[in-house]
Amino acid sequence: MHTRRTFNKFCPTESLTARPIHVARKDVLRKFYECGFPYSRKLTAHKSCVNYLAFSRHGGRWLASAGDDFRVLLWDFGEEDLLRPGHVFAGPSGNVLALDFSATNQFLYSGGADNIILKYDVSALRGVSNSSIGGRDSSSFVEQYRDHDDSIRALTCHPYEDEVFFSASEDGKLILHDGRAGGRMSAAQGTLQHTAAFTGMQHHPVMEHVLATCDVHGQVCLRDTRMALGPLSRRSNGGIVRVYNTKLSRKSAGYLSNPESSSLTFDRDASPLQLNLLFIMLQHYFPTIYALSDPHPLAICTGRNAPDGTPISPSQRTYTNSCTMKSGAFGGPGMDEDDLYGAGSDDFRAYVWKIPPLMTLQGLRKEIAAHDWYTREWPDTVAFAEGKWESRYVPLEISTPLARLNGHKSIVNSVAIHPSLLHVVTSGVERQIILHSPTSSSPAVQNLHPTPPTVRTLQPQDPAAQRNFLRALFGPHPTLHEETGDEEEEDQTISLFDHILRGEGEADVFTVRRWGEDSAEDSEDEDETMIDIFDTSLSDSSL
């Protein structure tokens, strides 16, 4: 039997006299999570892949999870020992790819491959708990939105208004949904039609007219909705106020690469004087950090070292992001600032990095003039450049993660960091969600077990794996099965993604995401011509 406790929201506002206590509390919390997250528990209720995780705002009472089984589950972190979901929402008719809670957690929105957004009333669940997931106690949506013509990739809610949210889709539409507007705003006025499929979007945590978007072509933008939406006469450049530099340059390639950006997220704005950070997940590359006011990247997060600082052998698998759509998360459990970032990886782990202060990131980024880039050797250096003849920016590499989170048997897609408790939750190809903790017990869970120190090794293809792959490829959808404990089904799904990993897991971003029309040979000739131009200019200027 589960009991409930009163769930206290963490309040970020404290008096000046409480400041020393606040600092001491932060120091204690950091000591806990800087030792990693060695304990875990599998949360089992989904029937297929879990694509997305989202904590409710403020205190984080609810964890919403959804995926390929066409259901949205709510896990109640107000329980003393969380073992099963507190509620299930029905209604999706396709894989769910995006979730978000409204400003005061009154509503939860979901969207995905069925092109439909569903609105659920979370406020109606006070005092309600499901004893049988999928049974009579499950509830449906209270409203639906059918404005998109393709898969919905991102949902993001207004920071203050429960009735206002944005959606972005592979149909290239970014749509403002405002329940307060009634008939005052037409569908056309609330829609921005982009030239490429959107892959991600997030509303700024404080500024109500600002959001960031990314698309399948690799363009990442900061947009002002006052310039993007409304009457056509008031629109300007799609509302774009900044475009971020995401193109990669490597001397040996001779051309640029523009990786697809699969998702993005802001950190929390702790004070008006603090500049926000923006984290972008780049396909076939590493999570990359930007300051909101700076188009050039500050840092990348890799897994070249183990958490103890030991370099990872080239023969061992480490952080990669090539095969699935991934979403990362900022967090700072129990604190008023985010200095952690978590992301899933193709090596069957999730990674958590501790992010240095903004001034440190800015001071350690390297800028290389175009002339120096073309006239000097830069072995193994990957830089960011807005064009072939522009300056190069080499961001700081955060190569030692705070923690590598084990426990999964396949690719990890989604990571969420609890806003007040010291927990990280992860999900992906498997049907289980894993809750990670720095201690064996907490206010929400009891008696966690140590997480296995190693992960499954990706094996070469063999006849048994080939059979599982074919069953997964041509067999029935997992949701057609009533039993939730069918391990053979999950093995087939894992085998399918193993097959994808063998083919795409080591893909070079400069090969798969080449930018520009010139061939590599033409690029090399142009590089040599450009060096000659630089040399001539230097000679002329010295006369």
pLDDT at residue 540 tops 60: no
Give the residue-averaged pLDDT of 276-285: 94
Residue 130: per-residue pLDDT = 45
Residue 429: per-residue pLDDT = 94
Residue 186: per-residue pLDDT = 74
Helix (H) or strand (E) holding 398, with range, is strand 396-398
Question: In the structure encoding, which two tokens stand for residue 480, read together?
Answer: 């057609």
Residue 335's pLDDT band, with cuts at 50, 70 and 90, is confident
Taking the alpha carbons of 482, 484, 485, 486 in that order, is the dihedral positive or negative? positive
Residue 315: per-residue pLDDT = 86
Which tens digits make up the pLDDT trace of 182-199? 666 677 889 999 999 999
Backbone angles phi, psi at 425, to 5 degrees: -115, 145
Which tens digits make up the pLDDT trace of 129-174? 444 444 435 678 999 999 999 999 999 999 999 999 999 999 999 9
pLDDT at residue 10 tops 60: no
Which tens digits make up the pLDDT trace of 306-322? 999 999 998 899 999 99
Backbone angles phi, psi at 167, to 5 degrees: -130, 150
Q: Where are the alpha helices (H) located in 324-368, listed in sequence order?
A: 358-364
Q: What is the DSSP letter of 309?
A: S
Cα angle at 408 between 406 and 414, to 5 degrees?
Answer: 95
Q: How far apart are CA 289 and CA 10, in angstroms?
A: 26
Q: Which residues contact 95 (CB under 8 A, 6 or more apart)?
A: 49, 51, 67, 68, 70, 112, 113
In 4-137, DSSP assigns E strands to 39-44, 50-55, 62-67, 72-76, 87-89, 96-101, 107-112, 117-121
Cα 246 vs. chain centroid, distance in angstroms? 16
Q: How far apart are CA 346 and CA 535, in angstroms?
A: 44
Which tens digits make up the pLDDT trace of 479-526? 444 444 467 778 888 888 988 898 888 889 999 999 874 433 334 444
Residue 18: per-residue pLDDT = 46
Residue 8: per-residue pLDDT = 41
**Mean of the per-residue pLDDT values for the chain?**
85
pLDDT at residue 466 tops 70: no
pTM, to two decimals: 0.86
514: nearest Cα among 281, 321, 322, 258: 258
Comparing 37-46, 232-241, 260-269, 444-453, which segment has the lowest mean pLDDT?
Answer: 260-269
Residue 531's pLDDT band, with cuts at 50, 70 and 90, is very low
Give the residue-averaged pLDDT of 293-310: 96
Residue 17: per-residue pLDDT = 46
Q: How far apart are CA 452 and CA 260, in angstroms?
A: 33
Q: How many angstroms separate the Cα of 523 from the Cα of each of 192, 373, 388?
A: 36, 14, 9
Question: In the structure encoding, which two tokens stand for residue 286, read together?
Answer: 């590493």
Residue 393: per-residue pLDDT = 98
Question: In the structure encoding, which two tokens stand for residue 126, read together?
Answer: 């006070």
Q: Order of strands, edge to edge, in the sheet holding 152-157?
A: 152-157, 164-169, 173-178, 191-193
Which tens digits make up the pLDDT trace of 247-280? 999 999 989 999 999 999 999 764 444 568 999 9
Residue 521: per-residue pLDDT = 38
Residue 30's pLDDT band, with cuts at 50, 70 and 90, is confident
Q: What is the DSSP letter of 459?
A: P
Q: How far apart are CA 178 and CA 354, in angstroms?
A: 37
Residue 6's pLDDT band, with cuts at 50, 70 and 90, is very low
Give the residue-averaged pLDDT of 282-286: 95
Q: Which residues contact 15 (CB under 8 A, 6 or more apart)?
A: none
Contact, 517 vs 258, CB < 8 A? no
pLDDT at residue 416 tops 50: yes
Residue 177's pLDDT band, with cuts at 50, 70 and 90, is very high
Residue 278: per-residue pLDDT = 94
Residue 332's pLDDT band, with cuts at 50, 70 and 90, is confident
406: nearest Cα among 34, 50, 45, 38: 38
Contact, 249 vs 296, CB < 8 A? no
Domains of the chain: which residue ranges? 245-423+460-475+484-543
Per-residue b or e along 92-106, where b marks 16 or more CB atoms closer than 10 Å to that residue's CB: beebbbbbbbbbebe
Helix (H) or strand (E) holding 339, with range, is none
Residue 411's pLDDT band, with cuts at 50, 70 and 90, is very high
